[in-house]
Amino acid sequence: MLLCADVPRSRFALSSAGRHNGLTRLGSALAALVLSVSFAASAGETVAPATKSAAGPIVERADPAPREAGTVPALDESAALRAAEAAIGRIVPDLPLLDRSGRPVRLSDYRGKPLLVSFIYTGCFQVCPTQTRSLYEAVKGLDRLLGEHQFNVVSIGFNQPFDSPDAMRSFARQHRIEHRNWEFLSPPRQSVEELTRAFGFSFVATPAGFDHVLGVTVVDAEGRIHAQVYGDRLRADQLGAPLRQLLLNAPPAAASTLAAMVERVRILCTVYDPDTGEYRYDWKLIFEIIGGLLFFSSVALYFLFEWRDQRRARRLSCNAPRQASGSTA
């Protein structure tokens, strides 16, 4: 009786030339696979969270005139920056607040997406409006880059009880801040100190208003402070860097769809253009990704065809002895 494993070598073994060609093709396929994996690793490479980024002054002085030491309260800029940096990595407290319509909200309501947080006071007539308007322009640019529903924004009034929901609503209307994912919040007066300390936001009351840190805090989807971005004239690239990092490094959802994967690749394939002040597609990176996908697809097809050919060869080699036995009989 002749079993498949006992088929004479000449019936199914590859010739030396065939083996050489197969090994060559296998080596080429493995090389392509290594290139694809290397590309994927470089595309998914992470960098350390950005903590310092500034555009314009870092501290607002309610009265910019020179002050004699000990005569007027003033904010220590170095101490304020140390406090802001120390807040990175901290979970923000889940304190009750009111939105501009007077409805109760909590910061935990915004978890699940990155959150941009700015502190303002509505009695400010120069720097806070400038910072808020620049943040609005940056957010519109980020919407084009990341998508309109990828992150949320909140502005919190720290001068209580004056930054009431009505005052915050008037401030937003006066400065034409119209964005569906941006809310203006008012904390209770007794919570202001705990809230601002948790965010590393420093301020000092002066006869002319407040000295305070200028900037935006970037909070991740779990409610942890990820980065501090300083300045009164914020740009999309300053905020875009930590936001892109959070979105690209976020674990994929259990029900991740093809659309979500495409969206992540789209975010990856954008780069800030300093000449235009906007994000644009990085076509070089796009072509590299397409090339990597083609390599990977070629490798997959190669192994599929090899598996099919070997399976067919084994089937033929097993059937040949049976046909030979039938002919003899």
* Domain match, 178 and 298 both: no
Q: Which of 172-176, 268-272, 307-311 has the highest mean pLDDT?
A: 172-176
Q: How many structural domains is the chain composed of? A: 2
Domain presence at residue 3:
no
Average pLDDT, the chain: 76
Q: Would you state the torsion angle of the CA atoms of residues 225, 231, 236, 237, taken in this order, to the nearest 10 degrees?
A: -80
pLDDT of residue 245: 86
Q: What is the mean pLDDT of residues 226-255?
A: 80
Domain presence at residue 232:
yes
**Beta strands 115-120 and 152-157, pairing class:** parallel
* Domain match, 128 and 263 both: yes
Give SS3 for 104.
strand
* Domain match, 176 and 89 both: yes
Rounded-to-integer distance, Cα 322 and Cα 6, Å: 12
* Domain match, 289 and 230 both: no
* Domain match, 223 and 287 both: no
Check: CB of residue 139 under 8 Å from CB of residue 182: yes
Q: What is the mean pLDDT of residues 243-266?
A: 63
| Higher per-residue confidence, 10 vs 169 | 169
Helical spans, DSSP H, in the chain: 9-12, 16-43, 77-86, 127-146, 165-174, 192-199, 236-249, 258-268, 283-328
Q: How far apart are the first and last CA of the chain?
A: 14
pLDDT of residue 235: 85
Residue 320 CA: distances (Å) to CA of 18, 28, 315, 329: 21, 33, 9, 14
Indicate whether 240 pLDDT > 60: yes
Percent residues over pLDDT 90 in the chain:
40
Q: What is the mean pLDDT of residues 82-86?
A: 94
120: nearest Cα among 78, 177, 72, 49 = 177
* Domain match, 103 and 168 both: yes
Percent residues over pLDDT 70 in the chain:
63
Tally of CA atoms within 13 A in the half-sphere of 144 that contains its CB: 15
Domain presence at residue 36:
no
Q: What is the mean pLDDT of residues 155-171?
A: 97
Domain presence at residue 20:
no
Least confident of 39-48, 194-203, 295-304: 39-48
pLDDT of residue 117: 97
pLDDT band at 267 (very low <50, low <70, confident <90, very high): low
* Domain match, 229 and 126 both: yes
* Domain match, 143 and 271 both: yes
- State pLDDT tens for residues 173-215: 999 999 999 999 999 999 999 999 999 999 999 888 899 989 9
pLDDT of residue 112: 93
Domain presence at residue 37:
no
Q: Identify the DSSP state of 271.
A: E
The partner residues of 186 in beta bridges, in order of sequence, read 98
Q: What is the mean pLDDT of residues 5-25?
A: 40
pLDDT band at 68 (very low <50, low <70, confident <90, very high): low
Indicate whether 12 pLDDT > 60: no
Task: Tell me whether the omega of the peptide bond preceding residue 161 falls within 30 degrees of 0, making it cis.
Answer: yes
52: nearest Cα among 280, 203, 231, 255 = 231
Cβ-based neighbours of 246, under 8 Å, separated by 6 or more: 114, 218, 220, 221, 226
Q: Identify the DSSP state of 125.
A: S
| Higher per-residue confidence, 316 vs 227 | 227
* Domain match, 235 and 292 both: no
Backbone angles phi and psi of 132, in degrees to 5: -65, -40
Q: What's 88's domain CATH number? A: 3.40.30.10
Domain presence at residue 134:
yes
Domain presence at residue 23:
no
Indicate whether 291 pLDDT > 60: yes
Give SS3 for 177.
coil
* Domain match, 292 and 252 both: no
Least confident of 125-134, 151-160, 225-234, 251-260: 251-260
What would you report as the CA-atom Rg of the chain, rounded to the nearest whole angstrom?
A: 31
Instruction: Show the domain range for 314.
Output: 283-329
| Higher per-residue confidence, 27 vs 150 | 150
* Domain match, 274 and 291 both: no
* Domain match, 77 and 190 both: yes
Domain presence at residue 19:
no
